[in-house]
A and B are shown apart, each in its own frame.
Chain A
Amino acid sequence: MENNNELTAERSLEIIKRQIEQSRKELEKNAGMPFITWGVLVFITALIVWYLWKITNNGNWGMLWFAMAIIGWGIMIWQDKKEKKSVTPRTIIKQIMGHVWFSFGIFASGFPVLMFVVAPLLFGQYVLGYGITSIIVLLLGMGTTITGLVLKNGWITAGGILGGLLGASLALFLKGYDEMLVMAGVSMVSLVIPGIMIQWRTKHV
């Protein structure tokens, strides 16, 4: 690229547009992978918990979610380190998405820890017996909706709203191990499908 001071206004605009487009395409590569990773982890964990809970009639299998969270965070830290080694910078959009999902992670992991680990230690019993799936599904739906709005993608936004509202309502009706089936369904609608759509968009648009 030349250092030409005889630029016309049209040429300046063309440079700005081309540079922003070029770097956007380059930088949004693999932005959908965290969605797919978490979606698949949630889907598999939900089905495992559902099956074990159903055959043993013991809801404590829900503790497997903590194991999933540890595996998921481990994968994220590994991917983050790999990304930092590359010269490709993080976009502002990726940064915003990172903050949104970090917040989701804090609330979705912290609330069950308080309810199922800290509260029984303090009060000797579970404070909240049911409804936790519904609350987490609502948080998940909100995270996906915000992501869809940031990426200006109507399908992802709709997936977040539908998955969050319908899933949270269904999880309240289907108490017990069937809540896990709702979680598996929501993981597809609010994580895996939006993740595949982000990947597709960055490769084809």
Chain B
Amino acid sequence: MFKPLDPLLHSELRLAVMSLLLGVEEADFVYIKEQTGATAGNLSVQIDKLSTAGYIEVEKKFVGKRPCTLCRITPKGVEAFDNYVESLKDYLNVK
């Protein structure tokens, strides 16, 4: 019996955002947008969904005069990502 895949992570953009955030302390919205190639509107919606689920934290602040939205993965997000990868291994029959 396959483990169910987390529907929140099972989307191209949200998965890409989580993969990106996994290896960094925190990342700016602009950087995530550049790296994923997503539109600002779509990315904003997906980040809200991840934030509401508690997978990421979003902090809005100013760096000098520039507004800055910082995203960082939470321990709950790391655990969810880990479970997602474990489920993927089941599907792909990887031990």
Contacts and interface: CB of A to CB of B under 8 A. Distances in A.
Interface string B3-40: 00101001111111001101111111011001111100
A180 B36 CA distance: 50
A77 interface: no
Interface in A73-97: 84-85, 87-93, 95
Interface residues on chain A, size class = 20 to 34
B13 A2 contact: yes
B91 to A, nearest CB: 4
A10 B84 CA distance: 13
B1 interface: no
B15 A16 contact: yes
Contacts of B23: 20, 23-24, 27, 91-93
Interface in B26-59: 26-28, 30-31, 34-38, 42, 46
Contacts of A4: 11-12
A197 to B, nearest CB: 21
Interface residues of B, number: 34
A11 B12 CA distance: 9
Contacts of A26: 35
Contact of B24 (A2, A85, A91): A91
Contact of A19 (B10, B20, B42, B85): B20
B53 to A, nearest CB: 15
Contact of B35 (A3, A7, A22): A22
B7 A1 contact: no
B88 A12 contact: yes
Interface in A16-33: 16, 19-20, 22-24, 26-27
A19 B25 contact: no
Contact of B22 (A10, A20, A27, A87): A20
Given A13-B88, A87-B30, A3 B24 contact: no
A5 interface: yes
B45 to A, nearest CB: 8
Given A1-B38, A16-B19, A89 B26 contact: yes
Nearest to A23: B20
A1 B12 contact: yes
A205 interface: no
A9 interface: yes
Given A1-B13, A7-B15, 5 more contacts: A1-B38, A12-B5, A12-B88, A13-B88, A89-B26
- Closest 6 A-B residue pairs measured CB to CB? A9-B91, A19-B19, A89-B24, A87-B28, A89-B27, A87-B31
